[in-house]
Amino acid sequence: MTTVHHRIVLQPPVMAALHARFDQVHGPDVPLGQPGTIAVVTNGMNGLTGAQMDLMPALKIISCFAAGHENVDLAAARQRGIWVTHAPGENAETVADTTLGLMIAAMRGILPGDRAVRRGEWNAARSVIRPTLHGSRLGIVGMGKVGHAIARRAAAFGMIIAYHTRNPRPDLAWAWNASLRDMAADSDMLVLACPGGEATRHIVNADVLAALGPQGFLVNVARGSVVDTAALVTALREKTIAGAALDVMEGEPVPVPDLLTVENLVLTPHFAGRSPAAQRGQLNTLLANIEAALSGGRPPQAIG
């Protein structure tokens, strides 16, 4: 018997593909350690620990259904001879599309405008003059496939682009900034598109938000852990920054309650990377990784 266990909710086309290839397919509601489990499908947020791997002695592959893999214990998997794979870039274009939508919604006040019209406050809402993306200064934290796709779109809007990563990329024409705080101070819009994990936990804190300033906007499509939520709520309430848009947040799927009490904030349910095209790409990568591992080969998107 061959069994695959998915620790995340998967859409019907993905489930159908798994059922066609495995004797048993178990979801998040079933305890780990079912007989014959040879593959686990997870993501960076749910991950998989060494102790959990020990429950599945036949496990051959842990496949992340996205690019993130921060909570998979890579050392434990390596010690046990288990492949860990992911799907880098498969949803990057979808994430970038959504990011531009969030940038526009935050900066142009799309949601407050909608609510005002519904309340009959047309003239009052129209009297508020809001900034626009064209000519604004954009700082991007992270310049992987997602960050690069965001920058390309922002360039088409005529934005002035800078980025912050551990090291500069000589192949890029955009300005690299070694200091996140300095880049925030030079930005009208700060977009987070970096990996999660301890290395980036709360890198956007009160100091960075203060540097972004009362005319600045924050957009997070990375991980909720990247932003200090308490500091963000304070900055929004006290107008230390102009506004924010979050597709990811600490505590998801249940947002930190204080986030729901601020008006200058757009919230979406971690759906930036979800589209039919992205799902097809992630599914194809998932199946290719699993089939390679089970046939004794190296998965095409193996980590490490």
Determine whether 270 is an active site residue.
yes
Q: Which fold has domain 92-267?
A: Rossmann fold (3.40.50)
**Annotated catalytic residue within 223, 237, 250, 274:** 223
Torsion of CA 63, 285, 153, 231, to 10 degrees: -10
Determine whether 252 is an active site residue.
yes
Question: Which residue spans of the chain are classified as CATH 3.40.50.720?
Answer: 3-90+275-294, 92-267
Helix (H, G, I), strand (E, B) or coil at 103: helix
**Annotated catalytic residue within 80, 270, 274, 291:** 270
**CA–CA separation, 95 vs 279, rounded Å?**
12
CB contact at 8 A, 59 and 52: no
The pLDDT profile of the chain, 304 residues, written as one tens digit per residue, is 799 999 999 999 999 999 999 999 999 999 999 999 999 999 999 999 999 999 999 999 999 999 999 999 999 999 999 999 999 999 999 999 999 999 999 999 999 999 999 999 999 999 999 999 999 999 999 999 999 999 999 999 999 999 999 999 999 999 999 999 999 999 999 999 999 999 999 999 999 999 999 999 999 999 999 999 999 999 999 999 999 999 999 999 999 999 999 999 999 999 999 999 999 999 999 999 999 999 999 999 999 8
Kindly report the CA angle at 41 between 35 and 43, in degrees rounded to 5? 140
**Annotated catalytic residue within 153, 252, 274, 291:** 252
Determine whether 7 is an active site residue.
no
Name the β-bridge partners of 3.
24, 37
Look up residue 248 and give its two tokens.
């990811």
* SS3 annotation, 3-35: EEEECCCCCHHHHHHHHHHCCEEECCCCCCCCC
Q: Which fold has domain 3-90+275-294?
A: Rossmann fold (3.40.50)
